[in-house]
Amino acid sequence: MGLRDVVERTPGLRSVLGSMYRLYGQRVEVHLARTPHHVGVIMDGNRRWAKAAGGTTVFGHQRGADKIAEFLGWCDETNIEVVTLWMLSTDNLSRPAEELVPLLGIIEDAVTGLAALRRYKIRPIGTLDLLPAKTAGILKEAAAATEHLEGITVNVAVGYGGRHEIADAVRSLLQEHADRGTSIEELVEILDVEHIAERLYTKGQPDPDLVIRTSGEQRLSGFLLWQSAHSEFYFCEAYWPAFRKVDFLRALRAYEQRHRRYGG
């Protein structure tokens, strides 16, 4: 049994630690002088959290979805401008139907709920053609309904894979120049990294300053591969449904303490 399990099963200890975490969080928040503009989040650990809690996989995914609005509230409080939430990877699409179908429904409800708050600009990123028509339609509707809002831009990465994104960007570049009649030789002469960046799903946005991954895993797994070249990374042991504001503030404090040299 881990420390978190002991805390969860001991109400008195949970109450005392909760008070201490709130005081700690308030102190960290007051002293934050620099916060990231763009935070990417790999929301990992829903299934493991559910297993530890004695619940079903669907229960874990639902609790993970329930955490999103709370997390965005923390981002609002700390003046973060762009958040990218990895909700479903292209690899996840190969999961068994008995898990994937309910998960897609949870994602649809979560995105619809975020749009209904009228606080966030929703932008789907991913290969929507790989998704069921209903899911893709709901994502597009949420984007259209919130495109005029001025709150945090929330990229919902559904059916997303970093390699797919780069391949799509290159494909778009080649098609555009083929339509113009540009030869391969001419394209080779002018090709620059910005030509790729301009065709990524996140075009027009700042690259992520900070990428957070929950559940203790320390890898990107294909998340924002191009955009994260100069990102800072923070790996947290907590599973996503158990991710707390104090965990988020620790990530921001770690980010603030790092000296970003961009290769210089």
Catalytic residue, candidates 46, 92, 192, 247 = 92
Determine whether 76 is an active site residue: no
Length in residues, the chain: 264
The candidate with the shortest Cα–Cα distance to 243, out of 80, 63, 11, 13, is 63
User: What three-state secondary structure class fits 88?
Assistant: strand
Q: Which helix (H) or strand (E) holds 124?
A: strand 121-125
Determine whether 44 is an active site residue: yes
CB 57 within 8 A of CB 106: no
Distances in Å between the Cα of 208 and the Cα atoms of 62, 73, 98, 229, 242 are 26, 18, 34, 9, 23
Question: How far is 85 from 82, CA to CA, in rounded Å?
Answer: 10
CB 161 within 8 A of CB 220: no
230 residue type, one letter? H
**Could you tell me where the DSSP H helices lie in 56-197?**
57-77, 97-116, 133-146, 162-180, 184-190, 193-197
Catalytic residue, candidates 5, 44, 91, 155 = 44
Question: How far is 91 from 108, CA to CA, in rounded Å?
Answer: 18
CB 195 within 8 A of CB 219: no
Using DSSP, how many helices (H) and how many strands (E) does the chain show? 10, 6
Please identify every residue annotated as catalytic: 44, 92
